[in-house]
Amino acid sequence: MPAREATVLIVPGLRDHVPGHWQTLLASRLPRVRCVAPMGRDNLDCAARVEAIERQAASIDGPIILVAHSGGVVPTMRWALQTRRAVKGALLATPPDFERPLPEGYPSIEALRKGGWLLAPRGPLACPSIVAASRNDPLASFARVAAMARQWGSRLVDLGEVGHLNPASGYGDWPAADALIAELEADTAYCWLKSRQFS
């Protein structure tokens, strides 16, 4: 019996809907895709975002490939480390370092702590995963993101100097995402992401 095609589940970061964002453009061209609705920077309830991922995942028949960007990586990891849902892989793009002060316009560490964002998940994923890191991301150093990738058991992809890989950094479409998703899709068998403890 042939393997079932995976549905891509897109998880945005701390933003509202942005028409020119690479995740928005990616969703418009994929044949099997679902999107978690953006919650913006005012609603900092991390648990609510995890629940939103669960609702979307529950509505998908068959395996899932997670595609998270920025702040969306944290609730995605929290969900992935507690679910028993069939997941084929995860693409985690430019995760932020919420344990150090962020640039002006982003939430404070205290606001993130109150919203349940700290500490970042550190347990390894049971499925193939790719972390895409920028060399000049204002939200996290390359070394910090590389350390996250090691903790999560992810393959690290060096994107070079792409800022935060968002329109504010001069980036709209990100065609490389398609190839990275295809790499995860090509895995011959999908896994179960099992419940783990944060270290």
pLDDT per residue rounded down to tens, the chain (199 residues):
445 689 999 999 998 888 999 999 999 999 999 999 998 888 999 999 999 999 999 999 999 999 999 999 999 999 998 888 889 999 999 999 999 999 998 999 999 999 999 987 888 998 899 999 999 999 999 999 999 999 999 999 999 999 999 999 999 999 999 999 999 998 754 454 433 332 2
Structure pTM?
Answer: 0.91
pLDDT at 188: 53
Element housing 73 (H / E):
helix 73-80
- Span 7-187: which CATH code? 3.40.50.1820
Contact partners, residue 80, CB within 8 Å, separation at least 6: 66, 87, 90, 125, 193
- How far is Cα of residue 8 from the mean position of the Cα atoms in its chain? 12
Q: If we measure between CA atoms, which residue out of 5, 38, 46, 54 comes closest to residue 193?
A: 54
For 186, other C-beta atoms within 10 Å of its C-beta total 10
For residue 133, give both structure tokens.
Answer: 């890191």
